[in-house]
Amino acid sequence: MTALSELDTPAALIDLGRMQRNIARMQKRMNDLGVRFRPHVKTSKSLPVVQAQMDAGAAGITVSTLKEAEQFFAQGMTDILYAVCVSPSKLDAVLALRRQGADLKIITDSVQGAQAIAEFGRRHDEVFEVWIEIDVDGHRSGIEPTDEVLLQVGRALHDGGMKLGGVMTHAGASYDCQSETQLVAMAEQERSRCVQAAQRLREAGLPCPVVSVGSTPTALSAQMLQGVTEVRAGVYVFFDLVMHNVGVCTLDEIALGVLTTVIGHQQNKGWAIVDAGWMAMSRDRGTQGRPKDYGYGQVCTEDGQPLTGYQMTGANQEHGIVALAAGVDAQIATRFPVGSRLLILPNHACATAAQHPGYKVLDKQGRIEDWPRFYGW
Amino acid sequence: MTALSELDTPAALIDLGRMQRNIARMQKRMNDLGVRFRPHVKTSKSLPVVQAQMDAGAAGITVSTLKEAEQFFAQGMTDILYAVCVSPSKLDAVLALRRQGADLKIITDSVQGAQAIAEFGRRHDEVFEVWIEIDVDGHRSGIEPTDEVLLQVGRALHDGGMKLGGVMTHAGASYDCQSETQLVAMAEQERSRCVQAAQRLREAGLPCPVVSVGSTPTALSAQMLQGVTEVRAGVYVFFDLVMHNVGVCTLDEIALGVLTTVIGHQQNKGWAIVDAGWMAMSRDRGTQGRPKDYGYGQVCTEDGQPLTGYQMTGANQEHGIVALAAGVDAQIATRFPVGSRLLILPNHACATAAQHPGYKVLDKQGRIEDWPRFYGW
């Protein structure tokens, strides 16, 4: 049995108890709100994590790449939403997965895209199920609910012989919320605008059985979800400092950290140098310019107790700088001697996890298990 | 034979001709300056890239992780410098590689570190070759040449029975240079301070055969390297927008780009949405706050012609936003229709390459070859 103290560093460490509580909290919320829950597997890209989400009651998965669809379909998961507008060149791969039995849904937000899907489908005698992406907050993709393009896309799909399965949206602007009032309002904005889009399609005589919304902040803040059939969220499974800033998790709910070892000091600057740089943390500076800027991460003891004020203040490829964010700790070399170990909580769990070929998973008995993850496209 | 137009996106594309010219330019410079050259393989982590560097005349390799040492040693490369201060917990792995025949050198910059190495070496009857890291610019690790700790570390190693192989430094501050005058001065600062450290050790009766310096900007700017025995550099093999800002490469010398496909638009904002987000580009914003900020990358045509003014202005996990950096292109949807393809030059080649399981390599005849790369620790 490997002990925490024997792990090579840097390592992506999952606190299993925290992860399980995060999963249970979200699933209970969705059950109470009366909607299906379709977790986004792009955060973990790891079967045991996703299996735990399914075991808790999730209905289907959301993916950001066809690689994720292929990997999880190979593990027996069939109900899959590919939640990035499909490029025409990927339709061959989508078709191959559907022909193997995957109930893979795709999305589009343009007439060009819808026509390309419909033409490809007819040419290959395949009725693709397509959902239309709705823009509820101006942050990225999608069609505004009142835009005339919405009905054009709906008709291009439906009249083109495809299955118009529904509408979906992601309120990415929720990451900018800074109070519970803002979060509740953003969740309602996401719900109401996506439902409005569905109603417009239905009023035009088009089918729209599914209304799918979601982001971790809105999923955890919605007061009611009338008209919504399912919710999607990803990062809640681990949480991170961005989510802590948004206000939807406490520091001790963050289930992912990077274990690192002190390899040197610059005493006059108050720096400890550690063997986790941006290769282990990612370059994500998602808390920059936010209520609390955590640099490249919050420093904790090896067993996860936050060391208030200590951050990873700088990062090179395989070097991190650990220091007091404000002021100089003249005792840094005796506080964190060469060989001592720290845990760094990440700004953005999706980005940090992506840097690692696998997770080290720490259970309540102090045992360590290896969970693989994949990457690429 | 795969054509460029048939590649799945996103993909990390190497322009082979540019890469070969970058390698030849650096090696010729080092030959002319009369020093050995030890490329840093952390940039590519790919055997064919490193083999091309060796074939051009490189002497040994530099690594940032023991995984790199293990992988390249398995491919027959024995002269290896692990250029991150070794943590005591990694000495078992260092010993294993040396016992297998690797001429693996390690570094330290502290008495604590030196003592740990010497004690471990004596306990295992191994004479580790250790170089001392010198701080020439205050940017990260190392001992200042005039610091009394330098001789203490030298003695702890030498008197402790280890082989004191030399001194090494990396002038990371050269990335902040903004003129040729500054670059030349920084190269001379790196050289002179590292040579000074070597002289202090020798004057104290300690051996110091190797004087190893390097960064891509200083390697390409040094006017003379008296007293230096070898130079190290990594990112020059691909170059990137950070190096272009520093002034050591032109845009058309950048040999790495990310191929991407347009998947949608927000016409009123002048946005094209592409299927390369931060997962394909990395979160590196290395040109932020620099003479020219390229956002997440410079947009080019599929075959690499820069589209002046167009940048990846935003990135989510698998979505990129391509737009004019200044102003709104109302014709964005007709200029870059759904399905059209673009090449994005990266801010930081090391970070962007790290996001990809392999490279697609385009030769002068338009043929595509697959080159693998590895990751993790």
pLDDT in tens, A14-71: 999 999 999 999 999 999 999 999 999 999 999 999 999 999 999 999 999 999 999 9
The reply to whether residue A273 touches residue B112, judged by beta carbons under 8 angstroms, is no
DSSP state of B366: S
Q: Is this model's pTM higher than 0.90 or not?
A: yes
* B312-328 confidence digits (pLDDT tens): 999 999 999 999 999 99
Q: Can you read off the two tokens belonging to residue B38?
A: 């030890």
The reply to whether residue B356 touches residue A339, judged by beta carbons under 8 angstroms, is no
Q: How far apart are CA B349 and CA A317, in angstroms?
A: 12
Exposure of B252 by Cβ count < 10 A (0-12 exposed, 13-18 middle, 19+ buried)? middle
Task: Please report residues of A whose CB lies closer than 8 A to that of B278.
Answer: 284, 351
- The answer to whether the bond into A10 is cis (omega within 30° of 0) is yes
pLDDT of A1 > 80? The answer is no
Distance from chain centroid for Cα A355: 14
Q: How far apart are CA B254 and CA B334, in angstroms?
A: 28
Exposure of B103 by Cβ count < 10 A (0-12 exposed, 13-18 middle, 19+ buried)? middle
Average pLDDT over residues B329-351: 97
As a whole-number percent, the residues of chain B with pLDDT over 70 amount to: 100
Other beta carbons within 10 Å of A6? 9
A67 touches chain B (CB under 8 A): no
Residue A175 identity (one-letter amino acid) = Y
pLDDT of A3 > 90? The answer is no
**At A229, is the pLDDT very low, low, confident or very high (cuts 50, 70, 90)?**
very high
Substitution target in B4, B7, B43, B87 with the highest count of A β-carbons within 10 Å is B87
Mean pLDDT score of chain B: 97
Portion 306-325 of A in contact with B at CB < 8 A:
314, 316-319, 321
- Spatial contact of B235 and B190, defined as CB atoms under 8 Å apart: no
Substitution target in B65, B135, B275 with the highest count of A β-carbons within 10 Å is B275
pLDDT at B1: 64
Mean pLDDT score of chain A: 97
pLDDT at A80: 98
Q: Which residue of B has its CA nearest to A260?
A: B87
The reply to whether residue A316 touches residue B140, judged by beta carbons under 8 angstroms, is yes
Portion 282-301 of A in contact with B at CB < 8 A:
282-285
* Residue among B344, B372, B376, B348 at smallest CA distance from B358: B372
- Spatial contact of A118 and A157, defined as CB atoms under 8 Å apart: yes
A119 touches chain B (CB under 8 A): no
Question: Which among B65, B275, B314 is the nearest to A87, CB-wise?
Answer: B275
Distance from chain centroid for Cα A143: 22
- The answer to whether the bond into B10 is cis (omega within 30° of 0) is yes
Domains observed in chain A: 17-236 (3.20.20.10), 251-372 (2.40.37.20)
Q: How far apart are CA B21 and CA B53, in angstroms?
A: 11
Residue A20: C-alpha distances to residues A306, A353, B94, B362 (Å)? 20, 17, 37, 46
The reply to whether residue A264 touches residue B109, judged by beta carbons under 8 angstroms, is yes
The reply to whether residue B264 touches residue A141, judged by beta carbons under 8 angstroms, is yes
pLDDT at A86: 98
- Spatial contact of B41 and B72, defined as CB atoms under 8 Å apart: yes
Task: Please report residues of B whose CB lies closer than 8 A to that of A317.
Answer: 42, 64, 350-351
**At A222, is the pLDDT very low, low, confident or very high (cuts 50, 70, 90)?**
very high
Q: What angle do CA B300, B349, A69 make, to 5 degrees?
A: 80
* B33-74 confidence digits (pLDDT tens): 999 999 999 999 999 999 999 999 999 999 999 999 999 999
pLDDT at A355: 98
The reply to whether residue A282 touches residue B283, judged by beta carbons under 8 angstroms, is yes
- Spatial contact of A140 and A201, defined as CB atoms under 8 Å apart: no
Exposure of B325 by Cβ count < 10 A (0-12 exposed, 13-18 middle, 19+ buried)? middle
Residue A143 identity (one-letter amino acid) = I
* B262-281 confidence digits (pLDDT tens): 999 999 999 999 999 999 99
DSSP state of B336: S
* A319-335 confidence digits (pLDDT tens): 999 999 999 999 999 99
Helix, strand and coil percent figures for chain A, each rounded to 5: 35, 25, 40
Sign of the C-alpha dihedral computed for residues B53, B55, B59 and B64 taken in this order: positive
The alpha carbon of residue A341 is apart from the nearest alpha carbon of chain B, in Å, by: 10
Portion 332-371 of A in contact with B at CB < 8 A:
337-339, 348, 350-351, 354-358
The reply to whether residue B64 touches residue A140, judged by beta carbons under 8 angstroms, is no
Portion 11-30 of B in contact with A at CB < 8 A:
11
